[in-house]
Amino acid sequence: MMSRSLVLAAMTAVGATTGLLAQDRPLPSVPQSLGLQEAIELANQNSPLYRQTANNRGPAAWGVRNALASTFLPSFTVSGGVGYSGTGSQNFLTQSFVQASGTIGSSYSLRLGWQLSGQTLSQPGLARAQLAATDAEITGARMSLRSGLVNQYLSVLQAQDNVRLTESQQKSAEEALRLAQARYQVGQTTVLDVRQAEVLKGRADVALIQAQQGVTVEKLRLFQQMGVAAPADPSVVSLSDTFPVVEPTWNLENLLTEAEDRNPDLSSLKARHNAAVWNERAVKSAWLPTFSLSATWSGYTQHFTDLNPVISNALVSAQQSAEAEAIQCDYVNTNLLNAGGTPLPCPSTTLSPTDTALITEQVRGRNPAVALFDIGNYNRQPFSASVGFSFPIFTQFSRPLRAAEAGAQADDARELVRGRSLQVRTDVSQAHYGVQTAYRTIAIQETNRSAAQEGLRLATEQYRVGSATFLNVLDAQTVAQQAEADYVRAVYDYHRAIVQLETAVGRSLR
């Protein structure tokens, strides 16, 4: 019954712990009006991928503290224990040691130690370099999260613009259907035009449904990147920010200079190179001597579990001593005393009750019933301290091997920095030219859209008066729809090009 209760209690504790872990970080809700900056702040707090990188800072910061403490502060260790030894005999070669009573003992030890070497002196610099590298990686992860979030925010806005575009196309299809039906009723066209207009209207309806579904899908992806729970109906969340199209005026040389200092990937590699340099110094410091200092305080207690055998042994020993003294006294009086001399008074061969009580009291006094780990009643051991140093002379070339490996790692890290610097210059230049091209493309697509809309209007009017066929209207409408889609795509390609440029530079540019 007792074991079953313990099992049930353990299962309840495990279940409660699991429930607490599951509810540790409940997913926050999304506000109905979501701005870009608000989305970025929520993502910084809740994005699983970003938080995995941000969690690395805690161990890196403790690494700095550990390195400083290992260099300038001693270690302090406290240990203790309790032991029991039963009755019986122990044999060592031909000797036997009998223990008549069990014993309970305890011990404690306080140890202070400190070590100084070239490696411990270089550890704080290495730990700080590793912390700086971790901070750079977190900055890069935050910038990457922002870039992905801005792109997804733009995807939602583009999907909403596609809905408005398909709604406009649907209205155009409805107008074309009404026009075809009106011309058919007055006998100016055939039923084929009506059926083509109905197909066009049906396609527009399907396109609208798919565009609306596209908005829902892009919002769900946005919520996922933010690390928040999506509402049951994503349509209740609206995006409040807009992105105007303005002429880019950034100077390429200034962007390149700024990217050299602020690009997160490049900064992370520079920090890793600095850490590799410190690691090389730490490895080469193995040629320096190591100094050490230690001090120890310790003590123990021992208590017999049964005093009767101990008292009996003490009385037997005392009895044997009394008999030996009496025999020796008789021998002196008989063989060594001069004639006529006064004999020596010889002790009794048996212990008196007073002697027995005194011996018993002495044994009990040497075995007080003390509490375990009562420091005040411990038998203190002598204090011990030591100071030393070591200087390895020959280590089978292990030190040169480690130094060569660390130097190669530092050289590799430096080459990575140089290669990434060249890549950053290429990325910034390419993104800068991409923004310029995207901006000029918008103007061209705007002209194409206006021309296509005018062509659709003319084709519709010509079909209305009978100077064109319905196929002309369909062709014009296809061209107009493609021009509208191309314009929307050009606008968002421009915004995404700016995001790409911001990612390459390492900061927001608007």
Residue-range domain boundaries for the chain: 29-72+117-287+398-505
Q: How far apart are CA 381 and CA 109, in angstroms?
A: 10
CA angle 459, 464, 466 (to 5 degrees): 90
H/E run at residue 111? strand 103-116
Alpha-carbon distance 147 to 238, whole Å? Answer: 20
Q: What is the CA radius of gyration of the chain?
A: 46
C-beta atoms surrounding 437 within 10 Å: 12
The whole-number pLDDT of residue 26 equals 58
Consecutive sets of 10 residues in the chain, 510 residues long: mean pLDDT of each? 41 44 56 90 91 93 90 88 78 71 81 84 86 90 92 94 91 87 83 87 92 94 91 89 90 93 89 88 83 86 76 81 81 73 76 82 71 62 87 82 89 92 94 95 93 90 83 86 92 94 90
Cα(first)–Cα(last) distance of the chain, in Å?
71
- Nearest CA-CA partner of 134 in 61, 223, 225: 61
For residue 55, the model assigns a pLDDT of: 94
Residue with tokens 């070239």, as numbered in its chain = 118
The tokens describing 449, both together, are 């859209």
Residues 80/372, Cβ–Cβ less than 8 Å: no
Tokens of 495: 């915004």
Residue with tokens 């659709």: 456
Question: pLDDT value at position 441?
Answer: 95
The per-residue pLDDT for 27 is 59
**pLDDT for res 327:** 81
Confirm or reject CATH 1.20.1600.10 for domain 29-72+117-287+398-505, answering yes or no.
yes
Amino acid at 430: Q
So what's the pLDDT on residue 17? 44
Under DSSP, is residue 36 helix (H, G, I), strand (E, B) or coil? helix
Residue with tokens 């009990």: 364
What is the C-alpha separation between 435 and 429, in angstroms, rounded?
Answer: 10
Per-residue pLDDT, 375: 55
Contact 457, 444 (CB under 8 A): no
pLDDT for res 420: 92
Q: Which residue matches tokens 């038998």?
A: 379
Please answer whether residues 224 and 471 qualify as being in contact, where contact means their C-beta atoms are separated by less than 8 angstroms.
Answer: no
